[in-house]
């Protein structure tokens, strides 16, 4: 039977869409199938509270995407298709119970001055950390953008070793193995300054005491200080629409409301997919699955087709704590106790301190609702005022490090509840915490939308148990172990079947990396095969001649 497509991509998460763009740009006939009625996966915006109030339902901070190789190549074409973004030069702050706060802006001197007023030694430690960032960030970002394992990686490692020298490499390895607490304790003195960096750890699943957890918060804290924080103008879905237009303009197709039931494998080679409605779609060059790693063994692929050891590894793949989203439509800006200036920051973390983060993280793993949940208060309207009419605002509140399943509740009211029944009551507690930092905020809430961990998974099956990062990012599941050394470089043991997405290297976030790297390597492989065919034709012709 003739194939319908060169490549079929399962899942229109941003990595699936990015892979489709790269392949279609090289002339491949691609089809993306998406189970939902809208593309984008965890990148989606909508008027979920009141008309005219545009909320980013899940991801909002586009810094990783804007720093990606994919964006460097396609920014012009995305802009032509309506994608623009807004950048805040006040990326993040932390607020504390006594009305104090600390904030980081792109103006280094202002940031240092704020820290100096707080404690001169914090300003000194911050400068030293920034110097460390300037020394090692190039090597780390190159690692982040390279396939693992690869020659590219070895080359950049050798370059890093040459430019950093022995001392610099030791410093880099020490950083790579540190926990967030070890890093901040080394350089900073006050609890307020320490949590300014450590809060970022919980955006993945790096509680303060997780070894190897320091690098992400360190890079995020200082790269945001360099570049600010960006969101899509008019809503995250504008970026998704631009990606989809790029695909269709290049001859690709996108099928929505189309769930892939299984990958069809013939003679050890992926030949296409079957949809849940029974339709069979064939592809002769690649099937790329933008799915959670466990989906491969959860029915998408016949277990008979996979080696036993890989099955075991995938079944042992661990998901991290859950996330909950609360979207507020506000009639006015947030009445921060710490003053109006706090209203300028794209994110305000409310933890309050490092020990609270550690307790919250341990509680999440043990199934306990936290006493002090970490709130990431995203002031989207401060970055992109077009999201709500007049002085009104949309507020994006992410509650990180929650238990996927609630076993116990310190207040004794929600013990053993399912998230579907507990979400609204827990959201009330979250708003109470916010009210203590912003007295009067509950009076200006015009509407709210609460998305519990179960809602997250219902919307996107890759967010298993409400885990926003599709699998723990701890060292045992990072680098070549994400999701398994047997699936490195996005290949599977089945010919022509590839896996991309947050569950593969370099992991979660809008980094556009796995989709880009996998598609790029397919294009390169085809070019190589084409060149060697030409060469052998030429050689046999030359021999005959
Ligand atoms: C609440 C939340 C907030 C976040 N905030 C940020 C942020 O601000 N910045 C940031 O960089 N990152 C953020 N992240 C992380 C980031 O959004 C994700 O890591 C990223 O979107 C994952 O992209 P992906 O390509 O792996 O696919 P996903 O976004 O997971 O999408 C996968 C798609 O595949 C579809 N699919 C799966 N199986 C099938 C099937 N069998 N058939 C058809 N379709 C299928 C799903 O329906 C889904 O649409 C956040 C995540 C969440 C959940």
Can you spell out the DSSP letters for 292-323? -HHHIIIIIS-GGGS-HHHHHHHHT-----EE
- Provide CB contacts within 8 A for 288, sequence distance 6+: 7, 8, 9, 10, 16, 19, 490, 498, 499, 500, 515, 518, 519
Q: Is 463 in the pocket of ligand 1 (CB under 6 A)?
A: yes
**Tally of CB atoms within 10 A around 243:** 28
Q: Is 380 in the pocket of ligand 1 (CB under 6 A)?
A: no
The closest residue, in CA terms, to atom 18 on ligand 1 is 509
Q: Half-sphere exposure of residue 455, counting CA atoms within 13 Å on the CB side? A: 16
pTM for the model stands at 0.96
Positive or negative: CA dihedral 481, 482, 483, 486 = negative
The closest residue, in CA terms, to atom 15 on ligand 1 is 509
pLDDT averages per 10-residue partition of the chain, 545 residues: 92 98 98 98 98 98 98 98 98 96 98 98 98 93 88 84 89 94 98 98 97 97 98 98 98 98 97 98 98 95 95 95 98 98 98 96 97 95 98 97 97 96 98 98 98 98 98 95 93 97 97 98 90 73 69
The closest residue, in CA terms, to atom 6 on ligand 1 is 59
Q: Which one of 3.20.20.70, 1.10.357.10, 3.50.50.60, 3.90.1170.50 gives the CATH number of domain 5-42+234-318+469-529?
A: 3.50.50.60
Q: Is 11 in the pocket of ligand 1 (CB under 6 A)?
A: yes
3-class DSSP state for residue 126? helix
Exposure class string for 379-395: b at 16+ Cβ within 10 A, else e: bbbbbbeebbeeebbbb
- Residue 545, pLDDT score: 61
Q: Is 58 in the pocket of ligand 1 (CB under 6 A)?
A: yes
Q: Is 106 in the pocket of ligand 1 (CB under 6 A)?
A: no
- Whether 55-61+86-105+321-453 and 5-42+234-318+469-529 are alike in CATH topology: the answer is no
The closest residue, in CA terms, to atom 41 on ligand 1 is 260
Q: Is 202 in the pocket of ligand 1 (CB under 6 A)?
A: no
Q: Residue 31, exposed/middle/buried by CB under 10 A (0-12, 13-18, 19+)?
A: buried
**In the CATH hierarchy, which top-level class contains the domain 55-61+86-105+321-453?**
alpha beta
CA geometry: angle 205, 142, 64, nearest 5 deg:
50
Q: Is 60 in the pocket of ligand 1 (CB under 6 A)?
A: yes
d(CA 195, CA 201) in angstroms, rounded, equals 10
> What does the domain layout of the chain look like in residue ranges?
5-42+234-318+469-529, 55-61+86-105+321-453, 108-227
Q: Are the C-beta atoms of 378 and 38 separated by less than 8 Å?
A: no
For residue 43, the CA-to-ligand 1 centroid distance in Å is 6
Q: Is 236 in the pocket of ligand 1 (CB under 6 A)?
A: no
For residue 485, the CA-to-ligand 1 centroid distance in Å is 22
């Amino acid at each position: 039977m003739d194939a319908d497509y060169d490549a079929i991509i399962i899942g229109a998460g941003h990595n699936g869409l990015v892979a489709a763009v790269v392949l279609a740009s090289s002339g491949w006939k691609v089809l993306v199938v998406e189970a939902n009625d809208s593309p984008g996966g965890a990148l989606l915006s909508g008027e979920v509270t009141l008309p005219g109030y545009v909320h980013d339902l899940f991801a909002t901070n586009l810094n990783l995407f804007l720093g990606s190789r994919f964006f460097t190549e396609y920014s012009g074409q995305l802009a032509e298709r309506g994608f623009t973004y807004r950048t805040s030069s006040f990326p993040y702050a932390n607020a504390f119970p006594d009305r104090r706060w600390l904030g980081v802006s792109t103006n280094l001197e202002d940031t240092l001055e704020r820290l100096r007023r707080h404690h001169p030694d914090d300003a000194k430690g911050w400068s030293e950390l920034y110097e460390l960032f300037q020394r090692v960030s190039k090597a780390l970002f190159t690692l982040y953008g390279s396939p693992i394992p690869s020659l590219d990686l070895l080359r950049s490692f050798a370059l890093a070793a040459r430019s950093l020298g022995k001392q610099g490499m030791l410093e880099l390895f020490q950083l790579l193995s540190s926990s967030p607490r070890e890093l901040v304790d080394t350089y900073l003195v006050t609890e307020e300054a320490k949590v300014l960096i450590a809060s970022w750890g919980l955006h993945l699943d790096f509680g303060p005491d997780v070894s190897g957890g320091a690098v992400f918060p360190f890079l995020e804290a200082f790269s945001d200080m360099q570049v600010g924080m960006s969101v899509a103008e008019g809503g995250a879905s504008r970026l998704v629409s631009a990606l989809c237009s790029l695909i269709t303009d290049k001859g690709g197709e996108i099928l929505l409301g189309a769930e892939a039931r299984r990958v069809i494998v013939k003679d050890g080679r992926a030949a296409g997919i079957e949809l849940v409605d029974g339709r069979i779609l064939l592809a002769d060059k690649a099937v790329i699955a933008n799915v959670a790693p466990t989906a491969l063994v959860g029915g998408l692929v016949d277990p008979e087709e996979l080696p036993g050891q890989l099955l075991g590894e995938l079944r042992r793949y661990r998901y991290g704590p859950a996330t909950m989203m609360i979207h507020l439509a506000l009639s006015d800006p947030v009445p921060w106790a710490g003053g109006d200036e706090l209203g300028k920051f794209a994110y305000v973390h409310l933890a309050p301190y490092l020990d609270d983060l550690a307790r919250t993280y341990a509680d999440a793993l043990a199934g306990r609702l936290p006493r002090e949940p970490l709130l990431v208060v995203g002031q989207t309207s401060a970055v992109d005022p077009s999201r709500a009419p007049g002085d009104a605002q949309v507020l994006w509140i992410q509650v990180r490090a929650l238990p996927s399943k609630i076993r116990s509740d310190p207040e004794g009211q929600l013990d053993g509840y399912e998230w579907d029944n507990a979400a609204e009551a827990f959201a009330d507690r979250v708003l109470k915490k916010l009210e203590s930092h912003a007295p009067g905020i509950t009076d200006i809430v015009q509407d709210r939308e609460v998305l519990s961990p179960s809602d997250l998974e219902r919307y996107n099956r890759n967010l298993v148990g409400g885990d926003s990062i599709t699998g723990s990012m701890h060292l045992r599941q990072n680098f070549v172990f994400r999701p398994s050394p047997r699936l490195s470089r996005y290949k599977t043991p089945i010919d022509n079947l590839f896996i991309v997405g947050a569950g593969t290297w370099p992991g979660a976030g809008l980094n556009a990396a796995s989709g880009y790297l996998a598609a790029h390597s397919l294009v390169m492989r085809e070019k190589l095969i084409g060149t060697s065919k030409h060469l052998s034709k030429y050689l046999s012709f030359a021999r005959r001649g």
